[in-house]
């Protein structure tokens, strides 16, 4: 990967890049609707960067950027994944 100051990448802020989004600061691929945890989960199932890129309508480079971000910040991405996938529970009914 080219690490010159003008090269797009993990933290450049320009696509393909990763930035926080939403009230919980979920890491996402800038310019896409895809969160990094979704790329990680998809890669665990697909096992192929090319197949995952096609399935998510991303470039292979975007998938690699997301996976690199996960390698650098695994706890953050696991937290995002857990938050997104936890079951929604109905509020308890008030007792009379």
- The DSSP annotation for 36-85 comes to HHHHHHHHHHH--HHHHHHHHT--HHHHHHHHHHHHH-HHHHHHHHHHHH
pLDDT tens-digit series, residues 21-52 = 888 889 999 999 999 999 999 999 999 999 99
Domains and CATH numbers, the chain: 18-84 (1.10.10)
Question: What confidence tier does 7 reach under pLDDT thresholds 50, 70, 90?
Answer: very low
Higher pLDDT, 96 or 46: 46
Verify cis geometry, omega within 30 degrees of 0, for the bond prior to 16: yes
> Tell me: the pLDDT tens digits for 52-92?
999 999 999 999 999 999 999 999 999 999 988 877 666 66
Predicted pLDDT at 3: 39
Percentage of the chain beyond pLDDT 90 is: 59
């Amino acid at each position: 990967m080219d690490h010159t100051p003008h090269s797009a990448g993990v933290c450049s802020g320009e696509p393909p890049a990763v930035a926080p989004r939403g009230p919980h600061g979920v890491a996402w691929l800038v310019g896409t609707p895809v969160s990094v945890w979704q790329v990680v989960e998809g890669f665990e199932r697909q096992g192929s960067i090319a197949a995952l890129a096609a399935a998510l309508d991303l470039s292979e480079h975007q998938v690699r950027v997301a996976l690199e971000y996960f390698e650098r910040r695994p706890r953050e991405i696991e937290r995002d994944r857990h938050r997104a996938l936890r079951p929604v529970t109905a509020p308890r009914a008030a007792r009379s």
